[in-house]
Every structure is written in C-alpha cells, then in structure tokens.
C-alpha cells in the first residue's frame, strides 16, 4: 500500500463527519502526498476542532445567560408586584381623602 | 378603571338599596351639589393619575432591570441609579398621606433593593459579575484553545489539551441536556484529534 492509499484509508476510517472526510480526501486527490500535505490536513482538522470548542463554550455561555435571565425574571416579578401594590395603595388613599372631602 | 373608581365612590357614599345602587349614588351626588361633586371627581381623577404616575415612574427604571440580556447585565448599576431617581421624583409629585405612605413604602423597596438587587449586582459575588465572568471565561477558554492547539499538536499534547477542556466543562453547572451535548462534542473532538495523530504517524 502506497502512502496515498494509506492516508486515504486513515481518513475513510476516521470517526469524523463525511463533510470533513470529503474535504481531506479532496485535498489528497488534488495534491497527492506532498511534504506539507499532512500539515495542511492537520490545519483543516485544527479548524474543525476550534469550531467544536467554540460550540462547547457557547453551551456554557448559554447556560450562564439562562441562569441570569431566570434571576432577572424573578426580579421583574417582584417589581411588578411592587408596582401593583403601590398603585392600589395610592388609589385607596386618594379615595379615602375623597370620601372625607365629600363629608365635609 | 374609571368604572371601578366610580363604583368605589358610590360605595363611599353609603350602601344603596338592592337594585337601586346607581340611582342612590346619583342622588348622593345631587345632594352634595353638582358643582362640588364634579370638583371632587376632578380631584380624585387628578390624584389617581398622580398615583398611577408614581407607580409608573417609581418602577419604570426598576422594571428595565428585569429585562434580560447581556447589555442589561452590563448596564445594571446605571439602571439602579435611574430607578432610584425616578422613584424619588415620583414620590415628590404626591402630597399628604399618599406621599407619606409612598415614601415609607419606597424606603422599604429601596431596602429590598439594597438587600437583594444591590447586593446582587454590586458585590464581587453578584449575579451580574458571575454572569460577566462566566461569559468572559468561556470566551477565553475558546480563544486559548485555538491559540494553543497548533503547538499542542506539534508537541503531541492534543490529548492533554482536550483533558484540560474536559475538566473545565466538568466544573460547569449545566442542565442534563447541555451536559450530554458537551460530552458528545468532546467525544467528537477526541475523534478529530485521533485522526490528526494518525495522519501525523502515517506521514512519519
């Protein structure tokens, strides 16, 4: 088995997406086995790895956003309750004053 | 709202006989004199508008704190200041007992803010800071990984770099769905690393 076949076999057997395999195989097909071919392939895989890590850290960030939003929702509910109470009480006070004025 | 207020005013005039509530209320107005009744109604309306204005102004700023999103987390201290200012201005617009009550209530609210929200936002362990730190940390982890990967690959330390990432994700408190998603992605990263190592070996 020559080098090209050996590399092709490694790519085909790898547990990576078909899209990535095709990208690597296309490079192999285009260039054959040049001194820098493997390095180019590894750079492609580096990009894929960077995307995966970005996705992982995005998940962690999304969790932080959800946690924060939950806290904020609680705060907003408290504020809404405060607003209702404030307006209700102010109405009651005004009505009481009105009643007094009517009685005078 | 106006109907509700009118009902309250009617109630204030005394109990009306069954089935004749509206008539009795109107009679009470007439007895008081139309002009005076109208004046009282106007006063009530104005007072109610002020009250509602107080509610809106006092909590307008506070409510904005409740809005979600990254930009708010970074703007919270300013929003709290706005809320405090709006609340005080709203109270100034009132008079008499309403003002007394509102001040007392607002002080209570401010206390609540200081106890919960302000502590939450201003101390080193605030939610906003935790949130900001977490986002910052996630961005840095991602950036460091990319910056260091090529070197890790050259020195045969991809596995070490991946383990470092795995340890970090293991420390995060995530929902089960997110935990599974992260595990799945780390497994895939392992496959990518494996392929990279095999290619390197084949080239040697």
**A75 vs B: CB within 8 A:** yes
Q: Mutation test of the interface with chain A: which of B9, B42, B51, B53, choosing the one with the most A Cβ atoms within 10 A?
A: B51
Residues B146, B189 contacting (CB under 8 angstroms): no
Distance from CA of A80 to the nearest CA of B (A): 7
d(CA B145, CA A47): 11
Residue-wise pLDDT tens for chain B (204 aa)?
Answer: 334 444 544 444 444 444 544 455 555 545 555 555 555 556 555 555 555 554 454 444 444 444 433 444 444 444 444 554 555 455 454 445 555 555 555 555 544 444 444 444 433 345 566 776 787 788 889 889 999 999 999 999 999 999 999 999 999 999 999 999 999 999 999 999 999 999 999 887
Give the pLDDT confidence of A8-43 residue by residue, as tens digits.
999 999 999 999 999 999 999 999 999 899 999 999
In the 8-state DSSP scheme, what is residue B123?
Answer: S
> Average pLDDT in the A42-51 region?
95
d(CA B45, CA B48): 5
A71/B127 CB distance under 8 A: yes
Neighbours of B125 (CB within 10 A): 8
Indicate whether A83 pLDDT > 60.
no
What pLDDT is attached to residue B118? 40
Distance from CA of A29 to the nearest CA of B (A): 15
What pLDDT is attached to residue A62? 79
ipTM at complex level: 0.82
How many interface pairs between A and B have CB atoms less than 8 angstroms apart?
215
Indicate whether A70 pLDDT > 50.
yes
Complete DSSP assignment for A14-61? SSS-HHHHHHHHHHHHHH-S-TTHHHHHHHHHHHHHHHHHHHHHHHHH
Please state whether A2 falls in left (phi above 0), alpha (psi between -120 and 50) or beta: beta
Smallest CA-to-CA distance from A25 within A47, A5, A39, A52 is with A5
In the 8-state DSSP scheme, what is residue B1?
Answer: -
> Average pLDDT in the A49-53 region?
93
What pLDDT is attached to residue B28? 52
Residues of A in contact with B63 (CB under 8 A): 76, 79-80, 83
Residues B127, B121 contacting (CB under 8 angstroms): yes
**A55 vs B: CB within 8 A:** yes
Q: Using alpha carbons only, what angle is made at residue A28 by residues A23 and A32, rounded to the nearest 5 degrees?
A: 160
Which contacts (CB < 8 Å, 24+ apart) does range A25-28 have?
A: A28/A4
**A102 vs B: CB within 8 A:** yes
Residues of B in contact with A76 (CB under 8 A): 63, 65-67
pTM for this one?
0.60
In the 8-state DSSP scheme, what is residue B171?
Answer: T
Residues of B in contact with A36 (CB under 8 A): none
d(CA A67, CA B120): 13
Distance from CA of A30 to the nearest CA of B (A): 17
What pLDDT is attached to residue A15? 96
What pLDDT is attached to residue B102? 53
């Amino acid at each position: 088995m020559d080098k090209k076949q050996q590399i092709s076999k490694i790519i085909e057997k790898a547990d990576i997406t078909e899209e990535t395999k095709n990208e690597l195989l296309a490079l192999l097909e285009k260039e054959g086995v040049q001194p820098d071919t493997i390095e180019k392939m590894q750079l492609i895989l580096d990009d894929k790895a960077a995307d995966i890590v970005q996705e992982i850290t995005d998940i962690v960030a999304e969790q932080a956003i959800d946690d924060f939003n939950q806290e904020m929702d609680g705060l907003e509910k408290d504020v809404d309750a405060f607003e209702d109470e404030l307006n209700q009480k102010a109405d009651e006070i005004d009505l009481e004053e009105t009643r007094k004025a009517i009685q005078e | 709202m106006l109907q509700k207020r009118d009902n309250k005013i009617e109630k204030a005039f005394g109990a009306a006989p069954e089935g004749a509530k509206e008539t009795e209320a109107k009679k009470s107005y007439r007895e008081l004199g139309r002009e005076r009744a109208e004046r009282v109604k106007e006063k009530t309306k104005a007072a109610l508008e002020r009250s509602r204005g107080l509610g809106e102004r006092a909590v307008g700023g506070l409510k904005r704190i409740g809005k979600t999103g990254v930009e708010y987390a970074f703007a919270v201290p300013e929003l709290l200041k706005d809320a405090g200012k709006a609340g005080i201005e709203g109270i100034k617009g009132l008079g008499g007992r309403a003002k007394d009550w509102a001040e007392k209530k607002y002080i209570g609210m401010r206390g609540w803010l200081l106890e919960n929200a302000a502590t939450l936002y201003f101390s080193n362990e605030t939610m906003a800071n935790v949130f900001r730190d977490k986002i910052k940390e996630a961005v840095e982890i991602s950036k460091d990984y990319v910056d260091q990967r090529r070197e890790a690959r050259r020195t045969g330390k991809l596995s070490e770099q991946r383990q470092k990432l795995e340890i970090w994700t293991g420390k995060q408190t995530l929902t089960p769905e997110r935990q599974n998603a992260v595990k799945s992605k780390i497994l895939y990263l392992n496959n990518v690393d494996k392929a990279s190592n095999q290619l390197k070996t084949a080239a040697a």
